[in-house]
Structure 1
Amino acid sequence: MLLALDVMGGDNAPAETCRGALMACDRFPDLEVALVGTGSRVAPLIAEASSSVAKRLHVVNAEEVITMDELPSVAIRNKRKSSLRIAMEMVRSGEAQGCISAGNTGAIVAGGVLVVGRIPGIDRPGLGVPLPAIDRLRMLIDVGATVRSKPLNLVQFALMGGLYMRHVLNVADPKVALLANGEEEIKGDDVIAQARDVLRKGPFTFIGYVEGKDIPVGPADVVVCDGFTGNILLKVMEGLGEAVYALLREEMGQRILPKVGMVFMLPMLKELWTRFDYEQYGGTPLLGVRGAVIKAHGRSKAPAIASALGVARDFVLKRGVELISREITQGGM
């Protein structure tokens, strides 16, 4: 299996992205990675790879890079020699079965639509983030691919999220909910209400509305919202986690007893941090396009890149695109 990695995308590129590719190839013997980026910078970074890994790495030179502050649709159209654009063209041509980038989110979404192309019948793609919660993983979709959503978009997000949870993350009976400002049916706007009426007849167990507080501890496996709301919610959750961590360190630095107690709490805290560490889950799938397109966190280091490559590999092996395409063709919703 060949996956195309935009090694120039992200805050820590290309050193960490290349190192992540080495880790992924070491972890998955069936994986080959096309390292798409500035060849002169990439080659020294993989020079120490073992022979078994080196033969599965392929450097694809790219003369341009799409930066984080560029207008997404303009950049993906105009920078045809960029690492992201070339990686996506490899997916479109069938040369690669998926692509991964930690770069500009908007450009990844634009490229997914304009270069890779949408699955026939899908109105707009959705970015689905697997979120670690108290008892299991949950998916929040959409988190930024489609900023303003129609009822049809929310319905299709629910379908794609449910399929991903069932077939890729092995949740036997994924429960789907709409994010609203209350659990009562009188809550939400007309868009959410229209989506609710359709989802009641859908192929997955629909449990109605949930509030933001229910995402970490509630009954839903898939929480559906528009991309504007989802993106803000995701950023708030990330910021809150960082704030709690910073406050804990500050309090411990000022007091003696917490420092002593920390010796006994350290194993528990490490396990807790692992459960909520985005590097363990790697990437966010752009669902609804004709290929495995995975968005890694912009701050990803090598372990997160390796995990993102693993996410793409699983999506390909479990035929995620075909599953979504078949469900849409058969009128799943």
Structure 2
Amino acid sequence: MILALDAMGGDHAPTEICLGAISACSKYPDLEVVLVGDGSQIERVIKDAEPFVSKRIHVVHTDEYIAMDESPTVAFRKKKRASIRLAMEMVKAGDAQGCISAGNTGAIVAGGVLILGRIPGIDRPGLGVPIPLPNKITLLIDVGATIRCKPINLYQFAIMGEIYMRNTLGVKSPTVALLSNGEEEIKGDEVVCEARNMLAKANVEFIGYVEGKDIPLGVADVVVCDGFTGNVLLKFVEGVGEALYRLLREEMDQRILPKVGFLFLIPMLKELWNRFDYEKYGGTPLLGVEGVVIKAHGRSKARAIDSALKVARDFVMNRGVELIRNGLDRGGM
């Protein structure tokens, strides 16, 4: 299996991206990775890889890449040899089975639509993020691909999210909910209310509305919202986690007893960290496009890129795009 990896995308590119590719190829003998980016920088990182790994890592050189602060659509159209664009063109041409990038989210979404195209019947793609909870995983979709949504978009996110959870993450009968400002049927704006009426008739286990407080409790397997709300919510959750960690460190630095007690808490804290560590899950699938596209966190280091490559590999092996394409009819579309 060949996967194209945007070596220039993300805060720690290209070093950590290349190290992640080496790590993934070390684990999966069937995996080949094409690193797309500045060839000289890439070669410096991969030159020390073991021979059985290095022979499965290839380089496609380009001087162009799309920065995080660039206008996605404008940059994607102007930079014909941008690293993320070349990676997607490899998927389109059949030279790679999927592509991964930790770069500009807007550029990834634009590229997915412009280069790969949408699955027939899908109006807008959605980014679905698996949120690790104490005893399960909840998929939050959308988290930034489609900022302003129509009811049909939310409906399609729900169908695609249900298919992804059932076939890729192995949840037998995923429950689906809409994020709203209350659980009662009278809550929600016109878009959310109309999407609720559509999902009530769909062939999915729709449980109605959930509030933000319900997400950490694992009330639903798939939680659907527009990309603006989902992105804000996701960043808030990340910020709360970092704030709690800093608060704990400050308290330990100021007091003696917490330092002593912390020694006994270390095993439990490590277990909690492992459960909520985003690097374990690596990447977010762009659902609804005609190809495997995985968006990794912009801060991804080698371990997260390794995990993102695994997500892409699993999605290809599970025929994720085909299952979504075939499953749309089952959802009532």
Q: How does 1:155-194 map to 2 (within 5 A)?
A: 155-194=155-194
Corresponding residue for residue 76 of structure 1: 76
Unaligned runs of 5+ in 1: none
Q: Aligned to 2:294, what secondary structure does the other structure show?
A: strand
Q: Aligned to 1:213, what secondary structure does the other structure show?
A: helix
Cα separation, 2, equivalents of 1:171 and 1:203: 16
Deviations 1:77-106 (CA, angstroms, capped at 9, x unpaired)? 111111111001111111111100000011
Corresponding residue for residue 290 of structure 1: 290
Corresponding residue for residue 109 of structure 2: 109
| Contact persistence 1:20–1:302 (CA under 8 A) | yes
Residue 317 of structure 1, CA deviation: 0.4
Q: Aligned to 2:212, what secondary structure does the other structure show?
A: coil
Check if 1:233 corresponds to 2:216: no
Q: How much identity, in percent, do the aligned residues show?
A: 68
* Amino acid aligned to 1:294: I
* Amino acid aligned to 1:102: A
Deviations 1:240-289 (CA, angstroms, capped at 9, x unpaired)? 11101110100010010010011111111011011111100000110001
Cα separation, 2, equivalents of 1:94 and 1:232: 35
Cα separation, 2, equivalents of 1:23 and 1:119: 32
Cα separation, 2, equivalents of 1:71 and 1:268: 43
Corresponding residue for residue 86 of structure 1: 86
| Contact persistence 1:121–1:329 (CA under 8 A) | no
Give the structure-1-normalised TM-score.
0.98
Deviations 1:189-231 (CA, angstroms, capped at 9, x unpaired)? 1111111111112222000000000001042000000001111
Q: How does 1:1-333 map to 2 (within 5 A)?
A: 1-328=1-328, 332-333=332-333
Cα separation, 1, equivalents of 2:189 and 2:24: 44
Deviations 1:1-52 (CA, angstroms, capped at 9, x unpaired)? 1000001100001000000000001111111100001111111111111111
Residue 185 of structure 1, CA deviation: 0.1
Unaligned runs of 5+ in 2: none
| Contact persistence 1:11–1:298 (CA under 8 A) | yes
Cα separation, 1, equivalents of 2:83 and 2:219: 41
Structural RMSD (CA): 0.9
| Contact persistence 1:125–1:289 (CA under 8 A) | yes
Deviations 1:126-181 (CA, angstroms, capped at 9, x unpaired)? 00000011221100000010001001000100000000000000000100000000
Cα separation, 2, equivalents of 1:31 and 1:203: 36
| Contact persistence 1:148–1:228 (CA under 8 A) | yes
Cα separation, 1, equivalents of 2:327 and 2:75: 33
Cα separation, 1, equivalents of 2:169 and 2:128: 12
Cα separation, 2, equivalents of 1:272 and 1:218: 16
| Contact persistence 1:135–1:217 (CA under 8 A) | no
Residue 331 of structure 1, CA deviation: 6.1
| Contact persistence 2:125–2:145 (CA under 8 A) | yes
* Amino acid aligned to 1:130: P
| Contact persistence 2:120–2:325 (CA under 8 A) | yes
Q: Aligned to 1:33, what secondary structure does the other structure show?
A: strand
| Contact persistence 1:182–1:211 (CA under 8 A) | yes
* Amino acid aligned to 2:242: E
Deviating above 4 A after TM superposition, structure 1's stretches of 4 or more consecutive aligned residues are none
Residue 325 of structure 1, CA deviation: 0.9
Cα separation, 2, equivalents of 1:5 and 1:229: 28
